[in-house]
Amino acid sequence: MEGDWETILSANIAGTYNAFEAARRNGVKRVLFASSNHAVGFYRRDQTIDHRVYPKPDSRYGVSKVFGEALGSLYADKYGLEVYIMRIGNAADRPADKRRLSIWLSSRDLAQLVAIGIDHPGIRFEIVYGISGNQRAWYDNANALRLGYKPQDDSEPWAAEMLAKHQDNADPRVELYQGGTFVAAEFGGDPSRPPPEPRRAKRKAARPAAKPRTKKKK
């Protein structure tokens, strides 16, 4: 979810670099990186995109996921690491709203995608979308299918319920772009979770003012 820059920088940028660098130093063969739909959230909902599109992040969080994908590409080309990128939509028991009908990912489909990332031979650098076989998908997931992905689930059984209770957001960008509330959010882009508290720099305690010296009488 979206957060203040210091939190994103520490966890998702420095932290991701540390993970890839530790893998390289310790001779790890393959890394599976959990990227996000928010790396491409500023594509319109009337567009169908695949794994080859130029990144269009919708948030600081999305920027951090683009960084992770680029870092994976670097480590694959420069150091020979095998890198498998999953742009995860919304992994949950069921889609929570209209938007997530297009990006929902069931648990067993997620497990299948992860298994492909672990077991498929010959991976150097691959990007797949972490979604089930949703009829309303915004993503052409042909690259995952090429690697053997056979999604078992579809969000459509929840479509009537989600559409019936949907209300357009007051900000038109939220309904226009694939990233939903993240395109407008500063903190707490996921409406199903409480927003994080911005990290504030610690202030040093002010020193008490020095008392003026008085000259002693001789």
Residue with tokens 């019936």: 164
Distance CA 66, CA 180 (A): 18
Relative orientation angle of helices 60-79 and 15-25, to the nearest 10 degrees: 20
What tokens appear for 114 in the block?
A: 């992860």
- 154 Cβ partners below 8 Å, 6+ apart? 132, 133, 134, 135
- 88 Cβ partners below 8 Å, 6+ apart? 34, 35, 36, 37, 105, 110, 130
State the catalytic residue, choosing from 43, 54, 61, 149. Answer: 61
What tokens appear for 35 in the block?
A: 């990227």
Do 196 and 188 touch, CB atoms closer than 8 A? yes
Q: Let me know if 149 is a catalytic residue.
A: no
Active-site amino acid positions: 61
